[in-house]
């Protein structure tokens, strides 16, 4: 099937053009230019646009009213899950669908690095559970905004666990704090499911994957791949 899938995150929209089951083109659209770019894409590609979002219901309805060429993917076509309270984010469900599409029905641990870091355990197109923590840039922003003198920094690589500068100490805490968190979750998942596949996606996936000594698959377009799989289910 030929279509474009849209993944609306907290600050931007990721899009992917699929033709005959192949992701041919993709991009990221900041909110401030969404109107221009989406209308250009629609004019260039007169094919179905499938939409998924993690934003509030009111924001989603506003989006669909503005871009009438987009159609939301039905909730029933996403992977299943059993939560005691609340609902699973559609980005996490799409990641599970993407992992199932790429790696089959066995267990997977998908780590998605964005505003938050989400950990999703999936199996056979079902979200079994997971965890959510603050992402790297959100941690750096919080240190700046909730203190009087700490600067605002962008994430950069560091090899020092302890540093003798304010900026170095901040970067160290974020980098090695997240690495320790990742190791803990990966080790626990592997102890419970010895054949589990570990998949990283999102903004900082490569940054952290190369610092860990595990077999990790990095697929930056995993969410888009999952949304395409969900859109194909919608067609069947």
The two domains 1-72 and 80-221 share their CATH topology (first three levels equal): yes
Exposed / middle / buried, residue 210 (Cβ in 10 Å: 0-12, 13-18, 19+): exposed
* pLDDT tens profile 97-140: 999 999 999 999 999 998 899 999 999 999 999 999 999 999 99
pLDDT of 84 reads: 85
CATH code given to domain 80-221: 3.30.420.40
Note the pLDDT of residue 192: 94
- State the residue for tokens 């993709």: 26
pLDDT score for 92: 94
**Residue ranges in the chain whose pLDDT is less than 50:** 236
- Interatomic CA distance for residues 203 and 113, integer angstroms: 6
What residues are labeled active site?
A: 91
- Please return the burial class of 145, using the count of CB atoms within 10 Å of its CB with bins 0-12, 13-18 and 19+: exposed
pLDDT in the model for residue 190 = 96
Sorted by where each begins, the domain ranges of the chain are 1-72, 80-221
Q: Which tokens go with 103?
A: 């790696």
Q: Note the CATH number of domain 1-72.
A: 3.30.420.40
pTM recorded for the entire structure: 0.91
Pairwise CA distance, residues 82 & 63, whole Å = 28
């Amino acid at each position: 099937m030929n279509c474009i899938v849209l993944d609306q995150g907290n600050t931007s929209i990721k899009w992917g053009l699929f033709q005959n089951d192949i992701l041919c083109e993709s991009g990221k659209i900041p909110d401030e230019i969404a109107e221009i770019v989406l209308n250009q894409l629609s004019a260039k590609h007169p094919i179905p646009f499938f939409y998924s979002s993690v934003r509030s219901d009111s924001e989603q309805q506003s989006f669909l009213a503005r871009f009438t060429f987009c159609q939301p993917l039905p909730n029933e076509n996403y992977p299943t899950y059993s939560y005691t309270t609340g609902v699973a984010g559609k980005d996490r469900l799409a990641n599970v669908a993407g992992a199932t599409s790429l790696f089959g029905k066995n267990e997977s641990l998908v780590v998605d690095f964005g505003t938050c870091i989400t950990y999703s355990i999936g199996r056979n197109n079902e979200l079994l559970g997971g965890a959510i923590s603050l992402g790297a840039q959100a941690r750096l922003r919080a240190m700046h905004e909730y203190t009087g003198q700490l600067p605002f920094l962008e994430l950069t690589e560091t090899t020092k666990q302890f540093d003798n500068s304010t900026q170095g100490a901040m970067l160290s805490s974020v980098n090695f704090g997240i690495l320790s968190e990742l190791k803990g979750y990966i080790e626990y998942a592997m102890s419970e499911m010895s054949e589990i596949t570990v998949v990283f996606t999102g903004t900082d996936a490569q940054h952290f994957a190369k610092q860990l000594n595990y077999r990790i698959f990095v697929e930056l377009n995993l969410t888009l791949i999952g949304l395409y799989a969900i859109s194909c289910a919608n067609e069947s």
